[in-house]
Amino acid sequence: MTGSMFDYDLLVIGAGSAGLSAARAAAQYGAQVAIADPDLIGGTCINRGCIPKKFLVFAADFARQQCLAKSYGWVNPSGKLDWLALRSVIDQELAKLRQSYQSKLAKLNVTVLNSAARFVDPHKVELGDRTITADKVIIATGAKPVKPDLPGVDCGLTSRDMFRLETLPNQLTIVGGGYIGVEFSNIFATLGCNVTLVDKNDWILPGFDQDIRQTLHHSLMEQGIRVWSETALESVRTDSSGIHVSLSGQHDDTLLADTLLLALGRAPNLEGLNLEAAGVEVNEKAIAVDEYSRTSQPSIFAIGDCTNRLPLTPVAKAEGAAAAKTLFTDQPQAVSYRWVPSAVFCSPEAATVGWSEAEARSHDDLEIEVHCSRFTPLRYRPLSQKREAMIKLVVNAASQEILGLHLVGDEAAEMIQGFIPALRRGLTLAELSETIGLHPTSGEEIFDLD
């Protein structure tokens, strides 16, 4: 497809979820494609994010099962985790995933360039000691963890470092109550670490529905995690006794830890791209794009976490496929963000899709109904420490259409996905109530909300 003017029809900068999706789709449309990244194929999600974190979640689940087994008559279900063995298993599985992606790119004749990219002009890019040209470019460089500009924070780890720990922490302090901080606090507490979670907000998980926030907040505390709300990090100091974490706010105190995780969000990874040379505008430290992922430079698109949209892996993949379709077919495609689900992989699990109650009430032209049920799932009835599950619907009072669905409980993420096609098509509360569920399951409670 490429002409003599350019080396490639498309250069994708970044081999994470967004970039891989775009490169594969473009190649399937017949484009000659190259993908450039100095790091491992798969980006954050595969190598130091979603996938290895989910393996840690599974490992923590086995520890929970040991505790649960005692309530079901098992006399001696306890065991001990070999942390380095777990790390080795995860590394092997990640290597297999990377090889799978390599093979798929090779079959599509996508050229993989293991180098950082720097724009010379909109169509010319430096890759180390060589320069290539491309008719179109898609930037998919993702995001990186941020560290605050505070004294001593260099000793703090980010989420990517947690997978390379040589030993399990004894005293772990986590600063940041977003989904990363919440998930890691739950994982490592379940694996036997003493965990303190510090957050500047009144409740964890800002941006989620308030009932999810409060339910998981209380759950973490019931599981022995110290959750210090309305508390900010001031400085960090290290000595032979460990890491001294100075705080202010509701808990004006100093914590002593052997491991400090800074889970304070992520920022678009634009360093070294030389976007000015390409004529690409940046807005609030992210690449500015239109609904089709076009930047201010018509031949350059940007997708995934380097833009200021929804920083979720499935969204990045969808943006990559849509950008390739827009570039290489006569059917431009935009991504709809209205019914994108998200989840928090802790125990209990949380999942959400659609509007939160607060988002729905912010629409002055809507009258809102809320239907919420809290219950103890059957499997946890024998336990002395009860485990609460929650189902919440946000409903348009006039049309009875469901505007948002919010779940807390085992397999909440798996449970919520099947509802999304119906929700997109205007599922009503009456249609939900007329559905007959499976018994005995937690999911059947969705069909029996008052």
Average pLDDT over residues 324-333: 98
**pLDDT over 70 at 4, yes or no:** no
β-bridge partners, 290: none
In whole angstroms, how far apart are CA 274 and each of 119, 210, 286, 406?
5, 41, 14, 42
**pLDDT over 70 at 104, yes or no:** yes
Residue 417's CATH number: 3.30.390.30
Contact between residue 234 and residue 246 where contact means Cβ atoms under 8 Å apart: yes
Classify residue 278 by burial, with Cβ atoms within 10 Å: 0-12, 13-18, 19+. Answer: buried
Q: What is the DSSP letter of 412?
A: H
Contact between residue 393 and residue 431 where contact means Cβ atoms under 8 Å apart: no
229 in a structural domain:
yes
pLDDT digits (tens, 9 = 90+) for 350-378: 999 999 999 999 999 999 999 999 999 99
53 in a structural domain:
yes
The reply to whether 133 and 274 lie within a common domain is yes
The reply to whether 118 and 242 lie within a common domain is no
- Give the domain-ending residue among 249, 264, 279: 264
- Alpha-carbon distance of 187 to 347, in angstroms, equals 8
Q: Which of 83, 222, 276 minimizes the C-alpha distance to 162?
A: 83
Contact between residue 36 and residue 113 where contact means Cβ atoms under 8 Å apart: yes
Residue 202's CATH number: 3.50.50.60
pLDDT digits (tens, 9 = 90+) for 138-184: 999 999 999 999 999 999 999 999 999 999 999 999 999 999 999 99
The reply to whether 93 and 238 lie within a common domain is no
The reply to whether 357 and 319 lie within a common domain is no
- Give the domain-ending residue among 238, 264, 290: 264
In whole angstroms, how far apart are CA 374 and each of 10, 25, 114, 437?
51, 43, 51, 18
- Alpha-carbon distance of 248 to 254, in angstroms, equals 9
Average pLDDT over residues 201-221: 97
- Alpha-carbon distance of 197 to 418, in angstroms, equals 33
Classify residue 372 by burial, with Cβ atoms within 10 Å: 0-12, 13-18, 19+. Answer: middle
- Alpha-carbon distance of 22 to 316, in angstroms, equals 9
Distance, CA of 448 to chain centre: 31
Domains of the chain: total = 3
Q: Which of 272, 328, 322 minimizes the C-alpha distance to 299?
A: 328
- Alpha-carbon distance of 57 to 190, in angstroms, equals 9
Contact between residue 14 and residue 140 where contact means Cβ atoms under 8 Å apart: yes
Please report, as a single letter, which amino acid is at residue 409: G
pLDDT digits (tens, 9 = 90+) for 20-49: 999 999 999 999 999 999 999 999 999 999
334 in a structural domain:
no
341 in a structural domain:
no
The reply to whether 436 and 353 lie within a common domain is yes
pLDDT of residue 385: 78
In whole angstroms, how far apart are CA 422 and each of 102, 401, 426?
36, 10, 7
User: Sheet containing 259-262: which strands, arranged edge to edge?
Assistant: 226-228, 194-198, 171-175, 259-262
The reply to whether 272 and 257 lie within a common domain is no
The reply to whether 245 and 274 lie within a common domain is no
Contact between residue 247 and residue 234 where contact means Cβ atoms under 8 Å apart: yes
The reply to whether 177 and 288 lie within a common domain is no
Of 217, 371, 406, 439, the catalytic one is 439
β-bridge partners, 172: 195, 259
65 in a structural domain:
no
The reply to whether 161 and 193 lie within a common domain is yes
- Give the domain-ending residue among 328, 356, 371: 328
Contact between residue 397 and residue 367 where contact means Cβ atoms under 8 Å apart: yes
Question: Catalytic site residue 439?
Answer: yes
Domain that holds residue 177: 153-264
Classify residue 152 by burial, with Cβ atoms within 10 Å: 0-12, 13-18, 19+. Answer: middle
pLDDT digits (tens, 9 = 90+) for 367-424: 999 999 999 999 999 988 778 999 999 999 999 999 999 999 999 999 999 999 999 9
pLDDT of residue 1: 53
Confidence class of residue 75 from pLDDT cuts 50, 70 and 90? confident
The reply to whether 220 and 260 lie within a common domain is yes
The reply to whether 134 and 200 lie within a common domain is no
Q: What is the mean pLDDT of the chain?
A: 96
**pLDDT over 80 at 434, yes or no:** yes
The reply to whether 287 and 384 lie within a common domain is no
Contact between residue 227 and residue 217 where contact means Cβ atoms under 8 Å apart: yes
372 in a structural domain:
yes
425 in a structural domain:
yes
pLDDT of residue 169: 97
333 in a structural domain:
no
